[in-house]
Every structure is written in C-alpha cells, then in structure tokens.
Amino acid sequence: MATIHKTVLGSGVRIVTERVQHVHSVSMGIWIRSGSRHEHKAESGIAHFIEHMLFKGTEKYSAGEIARMIDSVGGVFNAFTSKEYTCFYIKVLKQHMDLAVNLLCDIFFHSLFLKDDIEKERNVILQEINMVKDTPDDYIQDMFNHDFFTDHPLGYNILGELETVQNFRRPDITGFYRREYLVPERIVIAVAGNMEHEAVVDRMAKKFDAIRKKKPSPAQASFEPSRSISCNFRSLEQVHVCLGTPGCSHLASERYALYVLNSILGGGMSSRLFQEIRENRGLAYSVTSFTSSFFDTGVFGVYMGVVKDTVQEALRIVFEEMRSLRKKPVTAAELSAAKEQLKGNMLLAMEGTDSRMSRLAKCEMYYDQYIPLSRILKDIDSVTQDDVRELACRLFRDDQLTCTFLGPLRNKDLPRDLLLLG
C-alpha cells in the first residue's frame, strides 16, 4: 500500500513522497518548473546546456568521482530537459538514500560551471544537434514545432540552435541558472520508494530552506494557432510528414477524451491509422498519432514516413479518418479498447519507483496536489462516444492545421485541396 505525503518548506520548496514498502529502491528527483519555453530567443538551448553541466563536477566532487559513486552502488543518475520543466534524479537501493540526497544537493547548489568544461560540453551538444538533423524522423518534430508555434517559445528547439549554443558564455549560463532554477516556488523534490517521508524532509530542509524567495519570470503571451504548410526539400528515401492541430492543456477537462481520441486514431498497433496505412495498404513502416500538453495549450498530431509516390494516398487516409471521427461516433468496441489500453499502460508504468516519482512531481507542478490513480481511471472510464466526437469536431479544423514535410518533396508536388479537412 503506497502512502503519499507532502511538506512545503518555509522557503516555498515542495517535498512530495510516495512510500512503497515492498520495493528495494528509492527514486529521488529535483524538478524545476522551468525549461526551454522560459528562454529568450538568444538563450535557446541554455536550459539543456545546464542539464549537461550539472554532471561536470562540484566543489566537492569531480565528474569522474560522481560517476564512480553512482556506479559503485549500482545506481542510476540522469537528467532531462523539457519545454516546461527540468529534472535531475537518482535511483538507488534504499540503503543508499543518503548518498542520493547528498549528491543531488551538491550538484544543485555547488556545480562549478568551469569555462573549460563549458567548452568541452559545447562541442558535445553541437554534435547532438547535428545528430538530430541527421535523423529525419526526429528532426521533423523540431521543424513541425517551429511551424506550429511560430515565434512562441514553445516552438524553440530544446537542444537549441547551432548559432545560439555557440554563443553561450559562463555568465549567460550561471545567470539563467540563478534566474530560473533558484526560485523556491518552482522547485519540487519528489521521492518514491522504500523510505520515510520525515527522513527525506529532515535531510532536505536545511539545504532548501536557505533559498531566498524571489519573483518568478513574468508570464508569456498566449499562443494563437493558425494554418501553416511547409515543404522542406532534402534528398532522402522517404518523405517524413508531421501534421497537427491545437490539442488540450494539462488542465483541460477534455484531456481524458483527448487520450482516448489519440488511442483510437493512431496511438497503437490496433489504431485506425496503423491498421489502414501500414497493415492494410503497406504504405508506411512508422505511422502514429501523438499528444503534447502544456500548462496553457497543447498539440494533437500525426507522424508518418512514406515514399514520395504514396504521400498523397497516405494523407488522404489520415484526413478521411479525421473527418470520420467528426461525423459519426466511434464504436462501443473501439471506445472500450482505447480505455483499456490507456489504463493498462498507466498501471504497468507505475511498477517502477522512477515512474512513480515522475508522476508525483508532475501532479504537484501542474495541479498542486496528488491525483490518485483511482480517480484517473474513473475519469478515463467516464469518457463517452459523444465526448470523443465533440472533441474531434473542435480540433480537426482547416484554419488551425499545420502540415510539415521533410524529404524529396516540393510545394508544387502537393495539391492544396488535398490538405483540407472540409
């Protein structure tokens, strides 16, 4: 039986824990509600750069010593940057929790950001950016986000651009870190596993209560969707296609209907797009729909990779399925299968303490409270056929459709009437 606890320190830092007695591990993360959308344009990629630098040594430990400390206890130490938050976390056996606490706090408060390390890591990140550009099924996502969000910070590449990353200097990096990370109201410490909440609070309180309160950065302007079509010619074997419309925010009441809609359209091997485009017609190896949600907006999209000669046929199928979802209710069998898929995926993911830790943090950041699994399962079950159809009618509209193409295709190759939902 898992037990959830929450403590808010005097500084405003939140500590949330889930005790899971039957496991041997503890997963602990420091989450900061700041990511690439909090960057100015000239700072694009700086949050991701900081993520890399937090592994490069502190006043107490070198990068090599940090790696050996984690390896010596069979632990996992990692970090990631998203558009709205940054996390660095450690997973260890429960008897090594003190090591996790000490190391996480050390890199958070005492990372050195040395000039020589910045130059070395700059080259690593530039190679990472180039690697994505050489991987078209990844690069198309960056291009689509740029087209979809235009100049809004949500459209910035998380890795940054070659030009911006090349220009970062130590004062830029440390200044962003102080401005965006050392803001106690944005910090969530999430821990899941075989431990006591009071023990975590005792170990963290002295370190995180010392952070001075400060005013967070001002809110950004809202995003306004618009229609966009772009062809990006590149000599490839396939045309990579990414198209989408505004979805739902993390706070939207329709989010569960969105998950069901996504599952039915292209969210798995039994979905409409996978069955029709891949299984029945053999037009693509990879075809999927996806959702991305943020505090105030979201994206619902479709990705596929097809040969040039079949682009129009594949697009016609996507648009036909979107129109079908608007015109008539999904079948009871489809609805039931989508719900069971969602619930199964969620419950299976919760078998690891790292997944539980992530869910604790995200609930706290987006909802300021823990949302029990039982409530989410109930909300999924409550989605009706009418909910799915009404959402499809609202989302699948020509005036807010973005289509991005990457491959051996030019604008003249696409009849514009093909890219209309009607």
- pLDDT tens, 368-421? 999 999 999 999 999 999 999 999 999 999 999 999 999 999 988 887 777 778
Q: Looking at residues 295-308, what average pLDDT do you find?
A: 97
- Pick from 233, 201, 192: nearest CA to 13: 201
Tell me the pTM: 0.94
Sorting pLDDT into bands at 50, 70 and 90, what band is 177?
very high
pLDDT at residue 222 tops 80: no
Sorting pLDDT into bands at 50, 70 and 90, what band is 223?
confident
What is the set of active-site residues? 51
Q: Report DSSP letters for 54-69, one per residue.
A: TTSBBSS-BHHHHHHH
- pLDDT tens, 321-372? 999 999 999 999 999 999 999 999 999 989 899 999 999 999 999 999 999 9
In 250-314 the beta strands, taken as DSSP E runs, fall at 287-293, 298-306
Which of the residue ranges 50-59, 96-105, 216-225 would you say has the lowest mean pLDDT? 216-225
- Look up residue 252 and give its two tokens: 């939207």
Query: Within 10 Å of residue 313's Cβ, how many Cβ atoms?
Result: 12
Q: Domains, the chain, ranges and CATH?
A: 3-208 (3.30.830.10), 228-419 (3.30.830.10)
d(CA 408, CA 352) in angstroms, rounded, equals: 43
Sorting pLDDT into bands at 50, 70 and 90, what band is 79?
very high
- Pick from 380, 305, 298, 25: nearest CA to 140: 305
For the chain, how big is the Rg over CA atoms in Å?
Answer: 23
Which stretch of DSSP H or E encloses residue 10? none
Classify burial at 359, counting beta carbons within 10 Å of its beta carbon; exposed 0-12, middle 13-18, buried 19 or more.
buried
pLDDT at 138: 97
d(CA 261, CA 257) in angstroms, rounded, equals: 6
